[in-house]
Structure 1
């Protein structure tokens, strides 16, 4: 079993490596051992706190939503049908940022990652570990840039002349920026993400790379650039995880050093990211000096705090493939939860698994800290677990064969987009959330 990061490194700490992933400053992560915030920086906290909110709503104690679990079978049937249409052999990949890097024309995929590796001479068996570092270098900034783009933005892929929107457009735009060396501080080595370069990224850099113009606005431009700058600052201040000089890909060496018999637990990866990258997120709610990130207030919990950690869990899902490609087996995927955002949550909302008591709810624009949005997100986390169990039953698959990461991809996220397209012209979510580019 991997030791949790808040307890400090195991005896000997992370091993020194030629790539800089060395514990030069002791346990340098920003959450001290035994800090009360540590209990909220886990997937278990997300699941149990969201369950408490669901119980509150199911008991009729909420003035915001009613809960209708009898509609789970209808949602599951719709999701199972979506999975069979998209993956007739049921060989569903993980839900991760890597799917967006594959975006092509209708029904097509473009393996941009494979092309990039071939061009860089990194396709061989001996290149597995460096390929993993590069994959991590790519995917961390890309996930942080993945908040909703807004309805008016699109990205024209120079390689294919395709016009891509939403997450696919954001994914390809960030991929292209990375491939051009946009995150590298090393001359002649474009395929890196170095803290020194990330610390200097500004909104104009993102605007140019993402083709932002008056007629092509991108929601949360300043927020995205601010996240990348803080990412660079935090990585540079955390040599225990990111090495010296700080490079995001050194996270691979850190996780490898903490693996047991070549295995690393998904919950350990998530908590490592939550602890190491916690200061990246804008200051919202803090507990004894530690920012809790994507954590919000709701009266159903004893201390009033409900964590979601949506983008960090999305990042954890997105690290599975580079880690496994390098030979690390990631176990315990059930420790991660569903992602409470507008596609998964929109699916459950559209199927009236949760119904707002206010008939004008969907017509208004909401903020992420409103109790009604916190409640909807919590119900989404619980609802996704219930839907996943029912989907597996419909498909005749076990949780081991078809973990939540595959249900989401197959899956609830695609089904959310599908039902949105049927319900509303252009397929927008069922209601609007005012986002600063750092939550969804």
Structure 2
């Protein structure tokens, strides 16, 4: 069982199986989409131009949750560091991990009706969507909302997470009858399962029952360097019980893994895995979390290598960019007026195309910016970037800036 899931947890498998689906679409075998790769240069030009505009000094950060913590130009990390003054490097890292894990798991789309207010009176600022979720969860963490002991507020303890419910989370997110949030119950249940999972892992590992135990596991034995794939692999193993809305493979909860008729049995290294044919791993939220833990590790003296082993994130902004720009073309335009579920083949195929085509966009963006893959890893292209371009083109196409594909979300994948 472990070996089966190991194949599906390898980001190389994600790329291989997405490529198989993309090739099937390019060969005109899909009933859902066709491809127009002639529009990729236009997409790359948009992304490159937006990258230059957003980062004129050429210093492009990683796509991570920390960018949302910087919403409104506020250096919120400095606020956290000031509160952590005097603690050890390891304890600072654990606090970063606690914050990021909880915040990312709360990061599924909130819907167009929701926003969050920071501050009071004339100086208040409202944030929506991912920025709002990021700022709200950051402020909640700073206030000790996820800590078990009020005397130690800058933690996310399993015992505190296990007692959270939708009402408590709704208060954190300022949810009201006129400020509604999509998937609130799903988010609350996700944090409860996170608490239960961390408690179980703590019993096995001997580390504290909090997301910070992931840091301790990564640096166990005095390690000062890890790979991005190792971060993702640890997240997928430890947090596997959290994902109830994905698929089960061979009786094991596999998370963001889906069946697709064009997903073959490719395995990393050129082999074939006949135990998992037709299963497509994507692991969007776990990869987003892995990207978001890279900087905390670096800030605490741990070198992270192999960033481009992780894939582009197959979600509604990156994928929406490709549809709105005419690269991914639905065969039936009426499909964009429908509501879909994450398990629908239409959505699975669209997400697979997104992974493959983001790699192709990245190559073109690097050429336009005169940078190599080492200088501009995929995570920086996403931030520079494709995600912002997806939001930009959505606003050009639709007054409310909504993505082109409507998905019923339970708050755990989208």
2:144 counterpart SS class:
coil
Name the counterpart of 1:115: 79
The answer on whether the counterparts of 2:84 and 2:92 sit within 8 Å (CA) in structure 1 is no
- Per the alignment, residue 28 of structure 1 pairs with none
Deviation at 1:289, TM superposition (A): 2.5
Distance 1:156 1:242, change over 3 A: farther
Tell me if the contact between 1:241 and 1:276 (Cα under 8 Å) persists in the aligned partners.
no
Alpha-carbon RMSD across the aligned residues, in angstroms, is 1.5
How far off is 1:326 after superposition? 0.6
Change (3 A) 1:115 1:98: same
**Alignment partner of 1:250 is 2:250:** no
1:129-278 to 2 correspondences below 5 Å: 129-158=90-119, 160-239=123-202, 243-257=206-220, 260=223, 262-278=224-240
TM alignment of 1:293-312, pairs within 5 A: 293-302=255-264, 303-312=277-286
Per-residue deviation, 1:113: 1.6
Query: Is the contact made by 1:57 and 1:67 (CA closer than 8 Å) also made in structure 2?
Result: yes
Q: Does 1:95 align with 2:63?
A: yes
Q: Is the 8 A contact 1:241 1:254 kept in 2?
A: no
3-state secondary structure, aligned to 1:337: coil
> Offset of 1:240 from its aligned partner?
7.0
Deviation sequence 1:310-330 (CA, Å, 0-9, x none): 000000000011100010010
2-structure distance, mates of 1:139, 1:259: 23
| Distance in structure 1 (CA, Å) of the matches to 2:23 and 2:197 | 37
TM-score, normalised to structure 1's length?
Answer: 0.88
What secondary structure sits across from 2:212 in the alignment?
Answer: helix
Question: For 2:11, which of 15, 28, 43 is the aligned residue?
Answer: 43
- How far has the Cα of 1:290 moved from its partner? 1.3
Per-residue deviation at 1:158? Answer: 2.3
Unmatched 5+ stretches in structure 2 = 265-276
Report what 1:84 is aligned to: 52
Would the aligned equivalents of 1:236 and 1:242 in 2 still touch at CA under 8 Å? no
Structure showing the higher helix proportion among its residues:
2
* Pairwise CA distance, 1:426: 2.3
Q: Distance in 2 between matches of 1:333 and 1:284?
A: 25
How far apart, in 1, do the equivalents of 2:112 and 2:364 lie? 33
